[in-house]
């Protein structure tokens, strides 16, 4: 068993083998080296990015969210780190004091996990994976960016915007983005994203 490589067990676990996942959790502790494992040693959901320019999308979100290499309190008073990662009770960093430095490798790992989560949520909220993938690539980035900022539940409440998006009615989509409290809460971010829509 010790001769197994973690990636081999990961591939097995990905294809419905919980036994393989349990085996992997017994001898893999370095989640920096094996980023497809989360802190609680569960396999991250595999996400297919299709035609989205992932590096550009990640760079845009990081610029909008900011990146902080320490524990800080967000605007609502919750412990946060890195690129807007809300510390969860099962995160080792949850009990760290505000101001405690966080290694870049930890920030990068959480960002990867959070990005994949919100990318999948954006598709789920939109409602149809094939239709999502057929959207203009910049529009896909806008939806992922909004989902990262708002979360899937709040994004799903932009019903008129989402419907306009499904109809490829970009002027209406842009207008519906502006017709929200979110638009005025996030400053330049919403204006930039709206302009991307209007440029289609």
pLDDT at 47: 54
Q: What angle do CA 162, 193, 190 make, to 5 degrees?
A: 95
pLDDT at 53: 86
C-alpha pair distances (Å), 166 with each of 6, 61, 180: 41, 23, 19
pLDDT at 156: 97
pLDDT at 40: 40
CA atoms within 13 A on the CB side of 64: 24
Burial of 72: CB neighbours in 10 Å, binned 0-12, 13-18, 19+: middle
Burial of 149: CB neighbours in 10 Å, binned 0-12, 13-18, 19+: buried
CA atoms within 13 A on the CB side of 38: 16
* 200 residues of the chain, pLDDT tens digit each: 445 444 444 444 443 444 444 444 444 444 444 444 444 433 344 455 666 788 999 999 999 999 999 999 998 899 999 999 999 999 999 999 999 999 999 999 999 999 999 999 999 999 989 999 999 999 999 999 999 999 999 999 999 999 999 999 999 999 999 999 999 999 999 999 999 999 99
Q: What is the pTM of this model?
A: 0.74
What fold, for 54-65+104-198? Answer: Lysozyme (1.10.530)
CA 91 to chain centre: 17
Which H or E element spans position 176? Answer: helix 170-178
Tell me the domain boundaries of the chain.
1-44, 54-65+104-198
In which region does residue 17 sit, left (phi positive, over 0), alpha (psi from -120 to 50) or beta (all else)?
A: beta
């Amino acid at each position: 068993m010790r001769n197994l490589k973690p990636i081999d067990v990961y591939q097995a676990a990905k294809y419905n083998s919980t036994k393989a996942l349990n085996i992997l959790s017994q001898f893999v502790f370095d989640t920096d080296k094996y980023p497809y494992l989360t802190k609680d040693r569960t396999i991250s959901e595999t996400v297919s990015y299709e035609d989205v320019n992932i590096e550009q999308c990640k760079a845009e979100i990081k610029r909008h969210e900011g990146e902080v290499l320490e524990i800080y309190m967000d605007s609502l008073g919750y412990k946060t780190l890195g690129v807007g990662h809300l510390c969860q009770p099962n995160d080792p960093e949850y009990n760290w004091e505000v101001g405690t430095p966080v290694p870049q490798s930890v920030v990068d790992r959480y960002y990867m996990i959070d990005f994949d989560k919100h990318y999948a949520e954006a598709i789920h909220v939109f409602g149809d994976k094939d239709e999502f993938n057929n959207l203009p690539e910049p529009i896909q980035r806008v939806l992922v960016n909004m989902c990262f900022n708002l979360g899937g539940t709040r994004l799903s409440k932009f019903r008129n915007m989402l419907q306009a998006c499904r109809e490829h009615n970009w002027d209406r989509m842009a207008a519906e983005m502006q017709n929200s409290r979110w638009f005025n809460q996030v400053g330049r971010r919403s204006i930039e994203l709206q302009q991307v829509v209007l440029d289609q």
